[in-house]
Amino acid sequence: MTKATIFNIQKYCVHDGPGIRTTVFFKGCPLRCAWCHNPESQHFQRELLYNPGQCTLCGQCQRQCEHGAITINQGSLKQDHSKCQACGKCLDYCLTDAREIAGQTYSLSEIIKEIEKDRPFYEESGGGVTLSGGEPLCQIDFVTELVKSCQDMGISVAVDTCGHVPFSYFENILAEVDLFLYDLKLMDPELHRQYTGVDNKLILENLQKLSARGGNIWLRLPLIEGVNMNREHINQVISFTRDLNISLVNLLPYHDIHRAKYSRLARPYAHHLMTTPSEEKIEEIKSLLETHQFKVKIGG
């Protein structure tokens, strides 16, 4: 039976599609966006986050770790992520929750059990389930089974995707998915590669094909000052998407509240390259899109 690696199941979400939703976050992504809000979503394997701000240096974790990944010396704890096997043993002995593991394995029935708990909310609000990540379509076998099960149960499904997967993955689930939340980050291929690690050819092709095949699409545009907050980029988005089947554009202004997660994973974060756009500039972009007949919402 297929299993999936999930790093979060969030209840009562109102920004990941219509109504009240349960969002299932799949671990692993083919992109490495410089602004990623969920850096713990990027790698496919389980990993440890260590928060020194909550650590009392009691030393319990060090005594339990069989892999020599923790050293306490002269009043500070060094977490060696390269030695950590993400076994999770140290978590059981940390009384202050300074440690957490991102990534748990779920069977289909376990996920469905979680989803079913919130069925009354979906029915009352016109909501459902959103599969997000990471990139959920990278675990396509599990996702295919899950969306079919949701359809059988009469639960609406949205898929939040970066689009960088073979189009056959979309074809697998097109009949069962009610909404695609499709991210479009940068139109310039070189800049796209620079900021996400891959060029955007496949992403743009898939968006066109998905539209041609009748997928219901909400286009998600992250707005990041220093990266893509300029009229040239937005004009390119408009000319590429004006004839596509886009029912809503979500403008998603960058913020850096996720910054601490990078240090908990011991990962570099180029925060100096990116800032939050001003409300005036976001409104300007909203108006520009609206003059081209797009329906636009600030936020998810």
**What is the DSSP track for 45-79?**
S-EEEE-GGG-----HHHHH-TT--EEEETTEEEE
C-beta of 88: minimal distance to ligand SF4 in Å?
Answer: 5
Member of 87, 174, 244, 248 binding ligand SF4 (CB under 6 A): 87
Q: Which residues pair with 217 in a beta bridge?
A: 180, 246
Of 85-93, 167-175, 186-194, 222-230, the segment contacting ligand SF4 by CB under 6 A is 85-93
Task: Rule CB under 6 A: say whether 102 interacts with ligand SF4.
Answer: no
| Smaller CB separation from ligand SF4, 86 or 174 | 86
Give the C-alpha separation, 50 to 58, whole Å. 14
Specify the DSSP class assigned to residue 162.
-
Sketch the per residue contact string, 20 through 49, with ligand SF4: x for CB under 6 A, - otherwise. Answer: ----------------------------x-
The distance of closest approach from Cβ of residue 261 to ligand SF4 in the complex, given in angstroms and rounded to an integer, is 16
DSSP H/E element including 12: strand 3-13
Q: How far apart (Å, rounded) are the C-alpha atoms in residues 243 and 232?
A: 18
Write out the two tokens for 145. 């089974």
Q: Is 71 in the site for ligand SF4 (CB under 6 A)?
A: no
Among 15, 67, 193, 259, binds ligand SF4 (CB under 6 A): 67
3-state SS, residue 9: strand
Distance from C-alpha of 268 to C-alpha of 190, rounded to nearest angstrom: 22
Q: How many residues bind ligand SF4 (CB under 6 A)?
A: 26
Q: Would you list the DSSP string of 279-290?
A: HHHHHHHHHHHH
Tell me how far, at minimum, the Cβ of 46 lies from ligand SF4, in Å.
Answer: 9
Choosing from 10, 85, 278, 287, the residue that interacts with ligand SF4 (CB under 6 A) is: 85
> Which residues form the interface with ligand SF4 (CB under 6 A)?
48, 55-61, 64-65, 67, 69-70, 77, 84-90, 93-94, 96, 98-99
